[in-house]
A = this chain, B = another copy of it.
Amino acid sequence: MTRKKVKLAFIVNDSARKATFKKRKKGLMKKVSELSTLCGIDACAIVYSPYDPQPEVWPSPMGVQRVLAKFRRMPELEQSKKMVNQESFLRQRILKAKDQLKKQRKDNREKEMTQLMFQYLSAGKIMHNISMVDLNDLAWLIDQNLKDINRRIEVLTKNAQSQTQVAAPAVTDVAAKIEDKGQGSHSGQGFDINMDLMQKQNWFMNLMNNGGGGNETMPFGDVNHQNGFWPNPFFH
């Protein structure tokens, strides 16, 4: 079937519009009824249609009259406060859609970087033609993963002291794989999981600046870094 997401616009086809009207009016009335019952509040709805001279109302003519009276009793100015009108309603929805787009982009970017990360891990060699921006994000992602692993290690360490010796080396092995194959052989050293963020950033920058030769690159160099803040790069 592959039902499409409805375009929120007047339905031109007459019979389709009538069918939709019937279904949605019914759904709407049910919603009003539920809202009123669940939350114990006064509410009413009035719906006019070309299919019937009478409006359809909820909960009843009397109920509507009562709520209307309450509404009319209020000064005009008060009525306008806190109200949901069509314009502000649409603005809200647009804003929400934008937020969702932003979030989606962030998620996509994160997936992209994860894929890149696994390419590094499985290919076992340095990829060329990767932009500075990608490397930056990739570094951030790896850092996040290491943090997660460290948190996990802490938990395990607390739960069973004997497991510390098993869990910790597992982490350094994974990181070392990038380092060893890509850089030549610093194999004895492993990846310092406590190395600060700046150092890791620099490692990636050096990797980048030294092109593909890479044999003399020191992965854990100590060159200049601009500031002490490493923002989440996925918030573009």
- Could you tell me which A residues sit within 8 Å of B by CB distance? 6, 8-11, 17, 20-21, 24-25, 27-35, 37-50, 52-61, 63-64, 67-68, 70-72, 74, 76, 78-86, 89
Contacts of A82 on B, CB cut-off 8 Å?
52, 54, 56
**A41–B50 alpha-carbon span in the complex (Å):** 8
Protomer copies: 2
* Min distance, Cβ A211 to any Cβ of chain B, angstroms: 51
A29-B84, A68-B68 given; A35·B47 CB < 8 A: yes
Instruction: Identify A58's interface contact among B6, B53, B59, B84, CB under 8 A.
Output: B84
* Min distance, Cβ A33 to any Cβ of chain B, angstroms: 6
Question: A78 to B56, Cβ gap below 8 A?
Answer: no
Known: A45-B45, A56-B82. 19 other contacts (CB 8 A): A9-B38, A17-B40, A21-B35, A21-B38, A24-B34, A28-B28, A28-B31, A29-B89, A41-B48, A41-B50, A42-B48, A43-B46, A46-B68, A46-B71, A57-B84, A58-B85, A58-B86, A59-B86, A61-B80
